């Protein structure tokens, strides 16, 4: 019997054109719709041997592994995934592998959101195309303004370099950030989170989600932002209290926000984030680029080849 491979959340139908799947002797089935319900997911995957999943959108808890006795290989994009129960995978004889993932796309999207907010790109484009007013916004300058970064890792440090190139004053803070690391990147170390928030004209989030960062920006923290400040989050939704952010936007307590991540994805049709004022939002596009997809799916094919040959590569965790 030929093995079956399901590719989850292939919204754009990109998997087939991003890699040469003919290199593996498997039947590939792309699932174009997101399956959030475990019953629906278990039914859809009941007759597959291999699953390729994107990022951390679909949880694989022990209960799901128990309902997929035919599953033998799970390939996740990226080399870190917090929603897979690895112990359960091992207990059910499922090998889990990852792929490389570039930090370049989220860096670029961060700046797309930040620039879009600063210069009112969406509003001005909509007005121009609909016969609206000629020039209705006054753009926020970047040169000389302060960019505050939460996190100075692989992504945050590259965002910092772009900010410096724009002539911005760049500061950064995280629980473990040292002056040596800040000096290495060429930015200022903020003495505290409140200091960074109260002085920044733009704040961008680049932290991993964990116990210490979940809800890091709540009502009290968002209240520290200037009314002229902008917040950008391309990291994880749970780092920013979603209700507090919605309130700040609705009440006009900050100038705007650029958001690429949400508490529920895909975002429900009636979710308030879809209609919030002062919000520039994208449907989790941070990792979605041609080169990244070629890496994800190309290495997924390599992982399947290696697994079928009896020598799995890029194993997780």
Positions marked catalytic: 236, 265, 284
60 three-class SS: strand
DSSP assignment of 160-206, as one string?
HHHHHHTT-EEEEE-TT--HHHHHHHT-EEPSSHHHHHHH-SEEEE-
Separation of alpha carbons 187 and 199, rounded Å:
14
291-296: long-range pairs with CB below 8 Å, 24+: 291/102, 291/104, 291/105, 292/101, 292/102, 292/104, 292/105, 293/14, 293/15, 293/18, 294/18, 294/19, 295/99, 295/100, 295/101, 295/102, 296/18, 296/54, 296/77, 296/99, 296/101
Confirm if 239 and 207 have CB atoms less than 8 A apart.
yes
Separation of alpha carbons 299 and 303, rounded Å:
6
Hey, what are 230's tokens?
């902008």
Separation of alpha carbons 12 and 77, rounded Å:
16
């Amino acid at each position: 019997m030929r093995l079956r491979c399901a590719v989850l959340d292939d919204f754009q139908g990109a998997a087939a054109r991003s890699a040469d799947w003919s290199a593996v002797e498997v039947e590939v089935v792309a699932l174009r719709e997101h399956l959030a319900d475990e019953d629906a997911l278990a039914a859809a995957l009941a007759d597959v041997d291999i699953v390729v999943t994107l990022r951390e959108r679909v949880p694989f808890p022990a209960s799901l592994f128990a309902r997929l006795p035919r599953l033998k290989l799970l390939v996740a994009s990226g080399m870190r995934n917090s929603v897979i129960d690895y112990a359960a995978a091992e207990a059910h004889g499922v090998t889990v592998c990852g792929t490389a993932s570039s930090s370049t796309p989220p860096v670029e999207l961060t700046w797309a959101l930040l620039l879009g907010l600063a210069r009112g790109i969406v509003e001005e484009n909509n007005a121009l195309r609909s016969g609206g007013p000629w020039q209705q916004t006054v753009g926020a300058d970047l040169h000389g303004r302060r960019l505050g970064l939460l996190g100075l890792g692989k992504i945050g440090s590259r965002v910092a370099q772009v900010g410096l190139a724009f002539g911005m004053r760049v500061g950064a803070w995280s629980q473990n950030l040292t002056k040596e690391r800040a000096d290495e990147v060429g930015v200022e170390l903020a003495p505290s989170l409140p200091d960074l928030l109260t002085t920044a004209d733009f704040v961008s989030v680049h932290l991993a989600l964990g116990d210490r960062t979940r809800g890091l920006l709540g009502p009290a923290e968002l209240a520290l932002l200037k009314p002229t400040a902008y917040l950008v989050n391309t990291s994880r939704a749970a780092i920013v209290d979603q209700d507090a952010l919605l309130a700040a936007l609705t009440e006009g307590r900050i100038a705007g926000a650029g958001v690429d991540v949400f508490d529920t994805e895909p975002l429900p049709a009636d979710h308030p984030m879809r209609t919030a004022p002062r919000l520039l939002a994208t449907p989790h596009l941070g990792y979605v680029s041609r080169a990244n997809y070629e890496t994800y799916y190309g290495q997924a094919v390599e992982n399947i080849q290696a697994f079928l040959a009896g020598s799995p590569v890029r194993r997780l965790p």
